[in-house]
Amino acid sequence: MIILKNYPLKRFNSFRLNAYARYFVRVHNVDVIPELIYKINSKLSKFCVLGGGSNIIFRPKYDGWVLRNELLGIKVFKENEDFVWINVGAGENWHNLVRYCIDKNWGGLENLSLIPGSVGAAPIQNIGAYGVELKDVFVSLNAMNMHSGQMEFFDLDECEFGYRDSIFKRTLKNQYIITSVNFKLSKKPKLNIEYGAIKKKIEEKKLDQLNIRILSDIICEIRTGKLPNPDRIGNCGSFFKNAIIPTAKYNYLKTVFKDIPSYPTDDPELTKIPTAWLIQECGWKGKNFGSVGVYKKHALVLINAGNAQNEMVIEFSDRIIDSVLEKFDIEIEREVTIY
Ligand SMILES: Cc1cc2nc3c(=O)[nH]c(=O)nc-3n(C[C@H](O)[C@H](O)[C@H](O)COP(=O)(O)OP(=O)(O)OC[C@H]3O[C@@H](n4cnc5c(N)ncnc54)[C@H](O)[C@@H]3O)c2cc1C
């Protein structure tokens, strides 16, 4: 195990912020984790797990251990005529996994094409896009308890998935390193093309046949037209979650803001409001604050417009949160994790 000290994190976070980890370790093998736990505890230190760094904002100095998850492998552990069950190492790249499954004609992940990051981070916030969420294909995961050093197993219910949320963002935050994830995929894929932008693209292209590969390509095309590529413009995708508010409050807001958009949720008492609209209505879209900005094509995305400073990103996001609160009395939440 190689322990690197005062290690630069700029190339390990998609916002491209300058930051340093007091200790940095690449975890290639589950067997080294107990020794790491011992070292972390004996120094009374803290730790965080790093995947692709596409949903993290680092402060300038992380005074603890950054454990870069690089656990690899894709294995079929069960199959029948209709389904295949696979176990995937948490350090595998998410989009590579999607393409691997498409090559095998295993359906289920195609709507989640081109989401940056690692497989192990996907359950943390139950990644979702274009009408599909991780939980729709998730079976279970394996994770090392960072207090006891024991491997534990979490099934679907135990992960308590919600909208960009799981138990690992709440009560079990920073207590586990997810080592692998199990998925159930279909050998007879059913396409999910309900999402408006997908339907529109299919019509535009006048497609008379569709399969998971074509659907994945369509989604990649929509995404590249809408979101900045982190290799060129530092960003974390959606910086904030969409707002979920009581339907009664939405009904009141509708009387004041006639155009306020909304989506139903599984619970009729709650309504989802696109936070991009709230931010845009507060006048932030395309605006910069020093070298941090709100992306001109999508108000939910904050960008590194130059050499953004860590604290400035946090301060700017606080200002946006405050102004939405003031105008709409809605407290929006960050989707990204700050370390
Ligand atoms: C351009 C762009 C577009 C995006 N689009 C979407 C989208 O459509 N939908 C969506 O849901 N998200 C989206 N995201 C956010 C991001 O891609 C996802 O949240 C992704 O799952 C993060 O993966 P990561 O490996 O980069 O995680 P990181 O940023 O490295 O980590 C995120 C969090 O998970 C924890 N973590 C990571 N790995 C592990 C592990 N193995 N065990 C325990 N904890 C772990 C970290 O400590 C941190 O708290 C987008 C981001 C970008 C930059």
d(CA 295, CA 320): 13
Instruction: Establish whether residue 310 lines the binding site of ligand 1, counting it when its CB lies within 6 angstroms of any ligand atom.
Output: no
Q: Which tens digit of pLDDT belongs to each residue from 81-105?
A: 999 999 999 999 999 999 999 999 9
pLDDT score for 43 = 82
User: What is the token pair recorded at 242?
Assistant: 């969409």
Please report, for residues 30, 84, 271, the alpha-carbon distance to residue 184 in angstroms, rounded to integers and kept in the order given: 23, 6, 30
* Residue identifier of the C-alpha nearest atom 10 of ligand 1: 127
Q: Which residues, 6 or more positions from 150, have their beta carbon under 8 angstroms from its beta carbon?
A: 144
Q: Which tens digit of pLDDT belongs to each residue from 136-148?
A: 999 999 999 999 9
Between the CA of 119 and the centroid of ligand 1 the distance, in Å, is: 9
Nearest atom, ligand 1, residue 169 CA:
49
d(CA 296, CA 302): 9
d(CA 41, CA 50): 19
Which residue among 115, 135, 239, 302 is best mutated to probe the pocket of ligand 1, counting the most ligand atoms within 8 A of its Cβ?
A: 115
Question: Yes or no: is domain 74-186 CATH 3.30.465.10?
Answer: yes
* Residue identifier of the C-alpha nearest atom 14 of ligand 1: 237
Instruction: Establish whether residue 54 lines the binding site of ligand 1, counting it when its CB lies within 6 angstroms of any ligand atom.
Output: yes
pLDDT score for 339 = 96
Question: Is residue 335 annotated as part of the catalytic site, yes or no?
Answer: yes
pLDDT score for 7 = 98
Please report, for residues 41, 79, 167, 205, 331, the alpha-carbon distance to residue 209 in angstroms, rounded to integers and kept in the order given: 57, 27, 40, 11, 44
pLDDT score for 1 = 86
Between the CA of 24 and the centroid of ligand 1 the distance, in Å, is: 19
Q: Which tens digit of pLDDT belongs to each residue from 243-252?
A: 999 999 999 9
First to last CA, the chain: 24
Q: Which tens digit of pLDDT belongs to each residue from 283-323?
A: 999 999 889 999 999 999 999 998 999 999 999 999 999 99
Residue 27 has pLDDT above 90, yes or no: yes
User: Domain extents for the chain?
Assistant: 4-69, 74-186, 234-338
Class of the domain covering 4-69: alpha beta
User: What is the token pair recorded at 185?
Assistant: 């995929």
Q: Same CATH topology for 4-69 and 234-338?
A: no
Residue 42 has pLDDT above 90, yes or no: no
Beta strands 292-294 and 151-155 are unpaired
Between the CA of 204 and the centroid of ligand 1 the distance, in Å, is: 31
Which residue among 9, 27, 55 is best mutated to probe the pocket of ligand 1, counting the most ligand atoms within 8 A of its Cβ?
A: 55
Residue 44 has pLDDT above 90, yes or no: no
d(CA 214, CA 114): 14
* Residue identifier of the C-alpha nearest atom 53 of ligand 1: 236
For residue 33, give the DSSP letter: H
Q: Among 3.90.78.10, 3.30.559.30, 3.30.70.260, 3.40.50.10490, name the CATH number for the domain at 234-338.
A: 3.90.78.10
Please report, for residues 131, 186, 193, 320, the alpha-carbon distance to residue 190 in angstroms, rounded to integers and kept in the order given: 13, 8, 9, 40
> Which one of 16, 68, 164, 334 is the catalytic residue?
164
- Please indicate, yes or no, whether the overall pTM of this predicted structure exceeds 0.75: yes
Q: Which residues, 6 or more positions from 131, have their beta carbon under 8 angstroms from its beta carbon?
A: 111, 192, 194, 195, 198
* SS3 of residue 301 by DSSP: strand
How many Cβ atoms from other residues are within 10 Å of residue 145's Cβ? 15
Nearest atom, ligand 1, residue 177 CA:
42
Q: Which tens digit of pLDDT belongs to each residue from 252-270?
A: 999 999 999 999 999 999 9
